[in-house]
Amino acid sequence: MNNFNTTQAKQYNLTAKEATLLNAFIGELYAEEGFSDVSPQDLQRITGISKGSYKGVLGSLKKKGILYVEDKRYLGTDADIVYLIDTDLHPRWKTEKEEWAAYECAKSDAPELTWTEWSEANKNC
């Protein structure tokens, strides 16, 4: 099973190693959109992609505009961190954005509508 939105991913023509790394990466993103604490070394360990090729796979995904790696010196951390650029590849993040847009649309007709009220009324949608 893929952790990433396969429909969104089709535009990137992913190789098998790219898909493996992306799948592992998105599987590790547990918090809100834009947050990551996943290092390149974590991805190499999780996927088992050899040290000789995982950097090339990361570079390829970066060139395709899917992710980027933030330098640990800039972050002030012990490890570089990988971030997802195309957040629509993350199914939960994509759904949350779509739900928020629908709520904002509904709120334009009913300004007093709260997120809780809207989500209760739309939880089966």
Q: What is the CATH number of the domain that holds 71?
A: 1.10.10.10
Q: Which residue has the tokens 């834009």?
A: 34
pLDDT surpassing 90 at residue 11: yes
pLDDT at residue 124 is higher than 60: no
Question: Which tokens belong to 77?
Answer: 């951390």
- Section 95-120 average pLDDT: 87
Do the domain assignments include residue 48? Answer: yes
Look at the block and give the residue holding tokens 């959109």.
Answer: 33
pLDDT band at 23 (very low <50, low <70, confident <90, very high): very high
Confirm if 22 and 66 have CB atoms less than 8 A apart.
yes
Taking residues 9-33, what's their average pLDDT?
93
Kind and range of the H or E run holding 70: strand 67-70
Q: What is the DSSP code string of 78-105?
A: SS-EEEES-GGGSHHHHHHHHHHHHHHH
More confident residue, 85 or 71: 85
Work out how many domains the chain is built from and give that number.
2
- Mean pLDDT value of segment 118-122: 84
Contact 33, 96 (CB under 8 A): yes
Q: Is the pLDDT of residue 91 over 60?
A: yes
Residues 82, 100 within the same domain: no
First-to-last alpha carbon distance for the chain, in angstroms, is 23
pTM: 0.81
Regarding whether 71 and 24 lie in a shared domain, the answer is yes
